[in-house]
Structure 1
């Protein structure tokens, strides 16, 4: 199918019921992750930066869970960095990365801009949901195509920029030729940053999605003024057509995984295996002498047994496994602040060793697998066997589990979590204006006094 035409022609009536439901779940999950992310220094710095250096001119959009305004480009950038700061957001195996982290902030920035312009009709809930799905469909395919054609392992921002550009093309709106130019600009300027650099040396740059959102939205506004950039090779070169021919028939949004824990996806199979052994044998952390993890190569690069920052904790394998063995779950508040100095968690973390198993590496990225062996001080040992990460499409989280995850993040943080959840659940049931949802999502976050900061 012609991709620029699809961007403009996709209608709510074209979406199967399962796709509509998945769109709601993706939205709810991303909002919960964003609420957790708003507690981070990364989010605060990014939002302040957007207000100061991407200030609102003729166009303004509110920043995700902040209330302040910036340009749509700045608001999108800050929102994507906020979601990325928690690392609990959805993803796709073949892209080895994330698209929703950019799709939602880009869509919110564009929707809020439209809402703030009296001459523009208010966006309805069905168009909002359709655009959300569209972003997933374009971004996921762009990610697969780019990984298939590029020699390096780049961050998600390199390709989810095209999702943001597609949304800008639809909602500004651009004509077909301008849409081609926007996609080309976004592909060219999307950050081809090195993913493994951030794995080996975790910092706030993370997965590049804030820069991808900024590049994609900028591409749309530039194309609107006549800036050129076509073609986007990931869409238009002959070898890439196989990834785009099934637009509108194969729904890539249904292939997204959901994260039970707010850490790098590569650590999840080991966490799941460790949790299963803990439950099955009634283990207490004080009984554990050592842990051996056999897993795929990329996961072994997640070292950092004694993280000094939230980012190092999220890109660690031993530390979150140790958290799971002590507490039975990986809470977001266990990955920040004084929790990083938990003596028992650090003892366990240093007692964990990871090694590559070739058969597991061969199954990556389609599957992420680990085998965990726990040895106790009394000499007993327990083996998990090969364990695939839960939340994948073939091992899906129940919708109820995704909703519970939202509540664990939202309670005590958002002043109206029930209203927020209700509005997301009703999206598409009718075509009421999206403005009330925007106010809940883009207004100043009313912080509550609570020691509970959510866990996944």
Structure 2
């Protein structure tokens, strides 16, 4: 059975073509590409991104491909590592919930520079993106979020399948790549809000590339994901047939929730609920006495009333709710070192009360409803409860909304004359020839407002 599953996934990766993929899946994947490219551009401009770029320049590697937002060429491995760190540092990753966790930030960071090196067309790039994300969404179904303080296991297997497709590996070579990518660095809850959190997921992208490269050279591994996952979480949690159930006809990539705010996803449902209230009632911060936020133990990681770093700001209910109260949005203007000591933000954060319901025992972060209560100085009270965030499969956003998010997030980072062109190019990825895709990558590498390597 285990070998049959690996072979079915490999056959899917080798045989799947764009005409076989539903239009809605193609559009959704392009939307995720817009988001992740925006994240890589934003991350390259953040303090952690600047430090990563400096290290890349100091190390010095063969000039193979451009590194997004860096203004330099470097080795493919360097570019993938950089892109992976940038994508996660921006906190724009789009995740699946209610099962195991899958996301897009370990796929696009490797596929874009790989497409440049291999001189792929936009159509070929889009195929590997969809194939890799679909396999990733299926092979991460069974690891419960936070089990043993870890998540996203296996992290590199799905992305490695997309790389294998880009290399045009055979079915046996693709299975070898899966086996080489199966075991690796997990994502540790203790690292949330630190640079290590970004580094861990960047290693998933890099391992995916290396695994496929080694498979191409003839190395082999054991792609027995069933035994691997059963040993980790117990046989009772692993349903092998689900991995390949309706493969090629039902697309699990649509389970991914889309982030609209650059902060931890645990907070998005509460933020949407708060936005519902203050928009409908036209409420400003000056009217607010306090905000009560009801959470489970899984969201406690975002209870950071006195943030001391940018990472803390991205994982702070208090800062995100303060931002929403002030500006009806959470964006990068609210996530910088000045906000740590800004008296207006400090006062707004002090209005937030966290209620941790120890009687709630969710297996997944989004399993319990997100409840938020707004108490005004005049005594009026409002509340909202949300099971899903806007951008979840139950409340999907359109490709035009994806485009608007891209334009918003890259404002001030990508040169103004290139923002719309770049968004439109990604939205029409399947129509880009090799030369067009090369131009897209050139813009992403060199035409940021402050290209540090230029």
TM-score norm. by structure 2 comes to 0.87
* C-alpha contact (below 8 Å) 1:270/1:369 kept by paired residues: no
What secondary structure is seen at the aligned counterpart in 2 of 1:31? helix
Q: 1:47 to 1:185 in 2, by over 3 A?
A: farther
Q: What's the offset of the Cα at 1:398?
A: 3.1
- Which range moved further: 427-436 or 24-33? 427-436
Distance in 2 (CA, whole Å) between partners of 1:336 and 1:426 is 33
* C-alpha contact (below 8 Å) 1:3/1:244 kept by paired residues: yes
Distance in 2 (CA, whole Å) between partners of 1:255 and 1:386 is 18
Distance in 2 (CA, whole Å) between partners of 1:99 and 1:186 is 16
Q: Quote the residue 2:260 is aligned against.
A: 260
Q: 1:151 to 1:301 in 2, by over 3 A?
A: closer
Distance in 1 (CA, whole Å) between partners of 2:438 and 2:394 is 36
What secondary structure is seen at the aligned counterpart in 1 of 2:257? coil
Pairing 1:194-273 to 2, within 5 Å after superposition: 194=188, 196-199=189-192, 202-206=193-197, 208-234=200-226, 239-273=239-273
What secondary structure is seen at the aligned counterpart in 2 of 1:56? coil
Q: 1:291 to 1:264 in 2, by over 3 A?
A: same
**Pair 1:139-2:143 in alignment:** no
2:448 to 442, 445, 448: 445
Q: Quote the residue 1:87 is aligned against.
A: 91
Distance in 2 (CA, whole Å) between partners of 1:242 and 1:355 is 37
Q: Quote the residue 1:183 is aligned against.
A: 178
* C-alpha contact (below 8 Å) 1:77/1:214 kept by paired residues: yes
What secondary structure is seen at the aligned counterpart in 2 of 1:18? helix
* C-alpha contact (below 8 Å) 2:300/2:356 kept by paired residues: yes
Q: Quote the residue 1:69 is aligned against.
A: 73
Distance in 2 (CA, whole Å) between partners of 1:32 and 1:155 is 24
Q: 1:376 to 1:430 in 2, by over 3 A?
A: closer
* C-alpha contact (below 8 Å) 1:37/1:84 kept by paired residues: yes
Distance in 2 (CA, whole Å) between partners of 1:375 and 1:97 is 34
**Pair 1:423-2:414 in alignment:** no
Q: Which runs of 5+ in 2 are unaligned?
A: 231-237
- Which range moved further: 321-330 or 230-239? 230-239
Q: What's the offset of the Cα at 1:407?
A: 0.9
Distance in 2 (CA, whole Å) between partners of 1:344 and 1:50 is 38
Write the deviation string for residues 90-109 of structure 1: whole angstroms up to 9, x where unpaired. Answer: 11114554531111111012
**Pair 1:124-2:121 in alignment:** yes
Write the deviation string for residues 343-369 of structure 1: whole angstroms up to 9, x where unpaired. Answer: 222222223122234787548445463
| CA root-mean-square deviation | 2.6
Distance in 1 (CA, whole Å) between partners of 2:246 and 2:268 is 31
Pairing 1:25-424 to 2, within 5 Å after superposition: 25-53=31-59, 55-56=61-62, 60-94=64-98, 97-115=101-119, 123-147=120-144, 151-156=147-152, 158-188=153-183, 190-194=184-188, 196-199=189-192, 202-206=193-197, 208-234=200-226, 239-357=239-357, 362=362, 364-365=364-365, 367=367, 369-386=369-386, 388-415=388-415, 416-424=418-426
Q: Which runs of 5+ in 1 are unaligned?
A: 116-122, 449-456
Q: What's the offset of the Cα at 1:386?
A: 4.3
Q: Quote the residue 1:10 is aligned against.
A: 16
Write the deviation string for residues 380-426 of structure 1: whole angstroms up to 9, x where unpaired. Answer: 32222445322101012233322111111223321211211121122
